[in-house]
Amino acid sequence: MLNVFTKTKPWMVASLLVATSAFGQNKCPPQSCQKPCEKVCPEPMQAPTIAAYNAPAGIDTRCSWDVFVDAAFTYWQPILENLELGISDNSASFYNTVFNMDFSYKPGFKVAAGIMLDYDNWDLWAEYTWFRGTSSQTASVGVPAQLGTIQLAPDIINTTEIDSLSRKWKLHMDLIDLLMGREYYVGTKLTFKSFFGARGAFIRQNLNDTYVGTVAIGGTALSGSTVQTNHSWAVGPRAGLNTSWLLGEGFRLIGNGAADILYTRYTKLRNNTSVTTSTTSTLRTQQKNTGYLRTHLELETGLGWGSYFDNNNWHFDLAATYGFQVFFNQNMFRQFVDDFARAASFMPNGDMFVHGLNLTARFDF
């Protein structure tokens, strides 16, 4: 018996090793080895073997002219930096008050028209934006305070005390865009529309100040006014990206962005100040035909809805967005910092911010 066990012992050991090795390579539990084991991690995504193509996502009406028009009502608030009226000088107060402008919301509009091109589903369109803004503010102080003004030339009012100042800022803005873009799917529920083109801008600003007070020596009544003018035209490239996150039933979330950099030519930078006490003093300066590069950034987000009608013969779309814009270095109203040297002055170059509501309707036919 011992001889039999001695002879079979090597075979038993070998069989045990083979069985152990086979069980160690099997990832499935013994009771579930009837089906192939699932992979713990997915395989890496393979690179495409042919060039990728973004399927077009533009509006495609049947038997149409491939033309679209849209119109938007805008309700914006323009804000210009470095436009404070003045600072109160009151020895009885711990803090001197800085008087800021009160910027108002104003209505405007946009209109656009375009055509779908046969070339790879691109479209071409032109857009016009009209906006007129007016903001007013008054600053006044009582005895014993006086109002230190920021925009007025100190060399003709350096011996006076200003009691009150009223200011009106007017903004006229006309923007013309000529753009080309293509809308395409990025996934099945997200579309992009890349576009580029050119922008022309006409921006005109006026700053009107009127002020009253008394001369520090002699108590003579003072009255005066300052009219500053800032007119410019600009042209340059514009590019952007519009995104639509498709929610279903025609609804979508909107996220758009654009930027442009414009060569800006200032045709009129003018200051006309007149101060009357016992005599009248004036200051007139003018700067023309000076050019700079100005940058503009724009972002907006909101909700939209669109649908085909009449067996897809035409398409109607509505969108409500809130936009934010920055026009860099738009404050070109000169500030004077010396009582005698009028050359000791500078442009504050504050940015102009515009934000507000956009309600847009579009019709494709």
Provide the CA 294 distance to its chain's centre, in angstroms.
Answer: 14
Residues in a beta bridge with 109: 73, 130
Residue whose pair of structure tokens reads 């200032």 in the numeric block: 266
Query: Whole-angstrom Cα distance, residue 114 to residue 69?
Result: 6
Cβ(317)–Cβ(72) below 8 Å: no
Q: Tell me how far CA of residue 342 lies from CA of 86, 89, 155, 222, 346, in angstroms.
A: 19, 23, 7, 21, 10
Exposed e or buried b for every residue in 222-255, given b needs 16+ CB within 10 A?
bebebebbbbbbbebebbbebbbebeeeeebebe
Query: ∠ at Cα 93 (90, 96), nearest 5°?
Result: 65
Q: For the domain bounded by 69-364, which CATH number is listed?
A: 2.40.128
For residue 35, the model assigns a pLDDT of: 59
For residue 24, the model assigns a pLDDT of: 45
Cβ atoms within 10 Å, residue 37: 11
Cβ atoms within 10 Å, residue 170: 15
Provide the CA 137 distance to its chain's centre, in angstroms.
Answer: 26
Residue ranges per structural domain of the chain: 69-364
Residue whose pair of structure tokens reads 């100190």 in the numeric block: 154
Per-residue pLDDT tens digits of the chain, which is 365 residues long: 445 444 545 555 455 444 444 444 444 455 554 555 555 666 666 666 667 788 999 888 887 788 999 999 999 999 999 999 888 877 667 788 889 999 999 999 999 999 999 888 999 999 999 999 999 999 888 766 778 777 777 766 654 578 888 999 999 999 999 999 999 999 899 999 999 999 999 999 999 999 888 776 667 788 888 899 999 999 999 999 999 999 999 999 999 999 999 999 999 999 888 888 877 888 888 888 899 999 999 999 999 999 999 888 899 999 999 999 999 999 998 887 766 666 667 778 899 999 999 999 999 99
For residue 250, the model assigns a pLDDT of: 94
Helix ranges restricted to H, the chain = 2-25
For residue 94, the model assigns a pLDDT of: 76
For residue 25, the model assigns a pLDDT of: 46
For residue 148, the model assigns a pLDDT of: 79
